Structure 1
Amino acid sequence: MTLLIPQRTKGADGELVVVPARHPWRWAGAALVLVLLAQFVHGLATNPGWDWPTFFGYFLEESIVEALLLTVELTLAGAVLGFLGGIPLAAMRLSPNPVLSAVSWTFIWVFRSVPLLVQLLFWANLGYLYETLQVGVPFGPGWSFPTVNLISSFGAALLGLALHEAAYAGEVIRAGLLSVDQGQHEAAAALGIPKWRQFYRIVLPQAMRAILPNAANLLISLLKSTSMVYILAIGELFYQVQVIYGRNGRVVPLLMVATVWYVILTALLSILQYYTERHFARGALRTLPPTPFQRLRAALRR
């Protein structure tokens, strides 16, 4: 590890003046990166293969915007249902009851092992395995209904995304709860604080600092995983792009439309993640981490 020591020079009055250490290679590296970035942007602007007129013509096209809204709907609904399912899974894994712990472990193991595409196809074809489902009292009266009418394509997509997300969310939540020092639990119990208040006011705020980064990664991964529901002929963003370039043959610009929208949504989720983490870091840091604008301003001053 290199320690950078400021240089000392004599001022006009003969007193020593501290001069910040200079870093010429840092700016040389930055200049090289800017040159490479400029070349990349030039290639994007001048290569006719990107077909930017087609890109801008379809970027805000009505069917693309509707498909984008469906993608956002699938992402938010899958995330909410997934984390609602992950909470009891995490609690069961941490339970001293061996039956609950084994059931939770098995669920997580199965749904993390099976690829998401296979899960989506399984739920969409559930009617081939079970023509009817029956609910009632064992050896008594019951009610049956056809499975084909129970799960639509959208329902199969949402169910597959939610269960897949729940398996990962359960482990993320469990890891966050385990990251809280055991002494925090003991100190809260020694003060006579009720258990629910211990969890809500002491354990959860500390666990959230460990949960949030991984939970944000899961949410971003879920956003991109919605593209797999095209296999069920659901008109989300990637499916709609495929339909359009299947008609006009403009594959690259249409793929760029989907790519840019995914990048924009990911950027918005990343900004939300940053400020949420900043909120929960208030009790752990003496000073809050600087915002991106503050970092840029500080870098320009150097």
Structure 2
Amino acid sequence: MPSLKEVKMKISGVKKTSQITKAMNMVAAAKLRGAQEKMEAFRPYTSKFNEAMSNLSAGANPDQFPLMANRDVKNVELIVVTSDRGLCGSFNANIIKQVEKMMADYEGKGVGVSLVCVGKKGLQLLKKSGKVRKSYTDVMANFQMYNAREIATDVAAQFLEEKIDKVEVVYSEFKSVAVQRAKVAQMLPVQPVVTEGEEATKISGDYIYEPSEEEIMDVLQPLYLNVVCYASMLEVGAGEHAARMTAMDNATNACKDIVSNLTVVYNKARQAAVTNELMDIVGGAEALK
């Protein structure tokens, strides 16, 4: 049985850890509110942008727009969006697991795969694969639209130079505070957004555009890439804080359980020490008689 001093030190150490995890939980909760509001404010814009792209690109000729060019897929690039920091449970691991599955599927078909890592954790976990073409670290803590534009511009240039034939974004979609799921979205070539039911009826019909559809599409397509990239970063930003809040809450509860168990051990050790001392006193008294 461990000594009283050892058990007491363990209890003290676990209590200090509990204070840290509780503070991190509160910080994550405060950051989550801002990140979630930002993400939810951008979702209607993304939805309307997709609607506009659907209307414009449905009848567009892919030959006129290089970013819509469908080629035989020989090389695929995956944009992997993860967090810069850890301590958020299996949040990043789920994204990486999805990426590894996709890499195995593509390579099984003889398709080359390259990676663009957005976020330090993705780079750390995928660097050993040797397929990382470019990385953007230390951006997820305070990213802006220009960060998404930089990523989208670089990938679009690779696509136009025919170094890659397809681009997909892998990120974690924010469902709720407790649920974040890995999701894949195609970025290039730009595809008409498929709508069904009432939405399809709502946006169907002939429109007269000023300026022409071609001029509008020339402007909207690069913006569309920026929106797709920025939206995925917003989803990951909110999901990271939610996952960290849940992980730190679980850690705090685990610390409480450990302290409770160590307290029982401490009491048993103290009782054993008291019993030994009493036996020594009784033994000494008997020896004096």
TM-score by length of 2: 0.29
Q: Rg larger in 1 or in 2?
A: 2
TM-score by length of 1: 0.28
Q: Which has the higher strand share?
A: 2
Comparing both chains, which one has the higher relative contact order based on Cα–Cα distances under 8 Å and sequence gaps of 6 or more? 2
Q: Which has the higher helix share?
A: 1
